[in-house]
Chains A and B, each alone.
Chain A
C-alpha cells in the first residue's frame, strides 16, 4: 500500500512538472507554435 501511495505521489509531482514545462514552452515560443500542437491534440478528439 505504501508503494502505491508513493507511486501516486510521484505521478502527481510529474503532472505538476508537465504543467509547468508546457507553460514554459508556451512562454518561450510563438502562439502559432504552441497552438498548432494544441490543435492537433484537440481536433483528434473533437470533430466538426
Chain B
C-alpha cells in the first residue's frame, strides 16, 4: 500500500498538486493571515482532501474584529478581491456583526463563483471549531481547517443535505482508522445541543 497524507493529532501534511480552487483560497489566506486568525469549514474541507466536486463558496470563519482592524484588513483585501455585498465598509461591518456573511470574488472576475464566504465567529460550534482548528501543510503552503471529526458530525447531524452526507462519508472513508473516538463523542455532545 502506498502512503496517503501524513496525519498527526493537529496537523495533516499533503503532497497534492494544487488545483485552481486551492490556489484561489491560498491567495485570499495570504492577505487574511496578516490581519487575523481564521478557520476554514464546510465543503472545501472535503474538497481539499480529494472529494471530486467543486463548490461555489469557501466558508471562512474569523474571530470578531474591531472596526479599525477590519478596515485595515478590508483595505488589503480589496487590492485583489471585490466584495459583492457592498463597497461601504460600515455596511459590511454591520452585516458581519449581525451574523451575516460577506462574499469576495477575485478582482476583475465576472464570475460570482468561486467566492469567499467570510463570517465572524458568533456561536458555540464555530468557537469550538476555531479553538480546535488543525493545520494543513501543502509544501510551503499552510491553511487552518476545522477538526475532521467535527466537520463530519456537522454535515451528518446539522446540514444533512445529500451533498453534505456524501462529503461526510468521503471524510470518514479517507480518514478511516484515523478519526478519534473520544473527539467524535465530545463534538457530538456539543452538536446535540442544537439538533
Report which A residues bind B (CB closer than 8 A).
Answer: 12, 15-16, 19-20, 22-24, 26-39, 41-43, 45-48
Contacts and interface: CB of A to CB of B under 8 A. Distances in A.
Contact of B169 (A16, A28, A36, A42): A16
A13 to B, nearest CB: 12
B174 A20 contact: no
A22 B17 CA distance: 17
Interface of B: 1-5, 14-21, 23-24, 47, 50, 52, 54, 114, 162, 166, 169-170, 173-174, 176
B2 A42 contact: no
Contacts of B162: 12, 15
B5 A31 contact: yes
A46 B24 contact: yes
Contacts of A43: 19-20
> Interface majority SS on B: helix, strand, loop or mixed?
loop
A41 B52 CA distance: 7
Contact of A31 (B1, B16, B47, B176): B16
A27 B19 contact: no
B142 to A, nearest CB: 16
A42 to B, nearest CB: 4
Contacts of A15: 162, 166
Nearest to A24: B173
A22 B19 contact: no
Nearest to A12: B162
A19 B152 CA distance: 14
24 contacts: A12-B162, A15-B162, A16-B169, A19-B166, A22-B52, A22-B170, A23-B50, A23-B176, A27-B1, A27-B173, A28-B1, A29-B4, A30-B2, A31-B15, A38-B16, A39-B17, A39-B18, A42-B19, A42-B54, A43-B19, A46-B54, A48-B20, A48-B23, A48-B24
